[in-house]
Amino acid sequence: MGKLFKKTLLIRFVFFLQWIIFLSCFKQYRGERVDDEPCVILFWHGRLALMPFAFRHFRKKGKRAFVMISHHNDGELIARLIHFYGLNVIRGSTFKGASGALRSAFKVLEQKDDIVITPDGPRGPRHSISDGAILIAQKKSVKIRILNYEASRFWEFKSWDKMLLPKPFSKIIYSLSEPFDLANLEKDEAKALIKKEFEKICKRDSFKEQI
């Protein structure tokens, strides 16, 4: 009971802190909201801190987003936290629980909802592209969209993913790319295209580029 209480308290504290930071910041959104077509949405693990708010803006009413969360030690905390934002969860990753996670992802896309994946999670290497994201998109013939945010002022954690947490009263740019197709691409070609799209959106929205 003590551990459960501490976990619940921690989740609520993080949720409260996220909202305090988010509400204090100036937000700008770039890109169109998701449409009726199911897709695979990718964002880097290092942008997890304030990413739930992006879905509040870009999501389509009546359409659900299912975030793939690993069975890693922190996975349960993250899964419980994002439920507060109206997001759904698929447990598993390409490292552990892969077959069950893939089957669940296929089912989600078949029901015309979206799958959300951090392709370099849960353990890196940072900014790597997992095979699972490509497999899901190609198997179900759906397109990929890249989701990202950049901040004018931020803390960067000393973690493997260099987690970026915007500072209060900073400016945040949230971006969702246009959908792009991986059909007929070999695995390495697909990874190269995804990496290129990530680099494009991150560079465009970087405040270093705007100085």
Q: What is the pLDDT of residues 156-203, one digit of tens each?
A: 999 999 999 999 999 999 999 999 999 999 999 999 999 999 999 999
Q: Are 83 and 89 in contact (CB under 8 A)?
A: yes
H or E segment at 205?
A: helix 187-205
Which residues make beta-bridge pairs with 105? Answer: none
Least confident residue range of 23-32, 84-93, 133-142: 84-93
Asked if the structure places residue 185 within a domain, the reply is yes
pLDDT tops 80 at residue 42: yes
Structure-block tokens of residue 198: 């990530």
Asked if the structure places residue 143 within a domain, the reply is yes
State the Cα–Cα distance between residues 78 and 70, nearest whole angstrom.
9
Greatest mean pLDDT among 7-16, 90-99, 161-170 lies in 161-170
- Which has the closest alpha carbon to 46: 164, 155, 147, 146? 164
Average pLDDT over every residue of 99-111: 92
Least confident residue range of 1-10, 84-93, 150-159: 1-10
State the Cα–Cα distance between residues 32 and 146, nearest whole angstrom.
12
Q: Report the domain count for the chain.
A: 1
Asked if the structure places residue 211 within a domain, the reply is no
Asked if the structure places residue 210 within a domain, the reply is no
Asked if the structure places residue 6 within a domain, the reply is yes
Average pLDDT over every residue of 23-50: 97
Domain ranges, residue 36: 2-205
Q: Are 46 and 142 in contact (CB under 8 A)?
A: no
Which residues make beta-bridge pairs with 166? Answer: 154
Asked if the structure places residue 131 within a domain, the reply is yes
Asked if the structure places residue 105 within a domain, the reply is yes
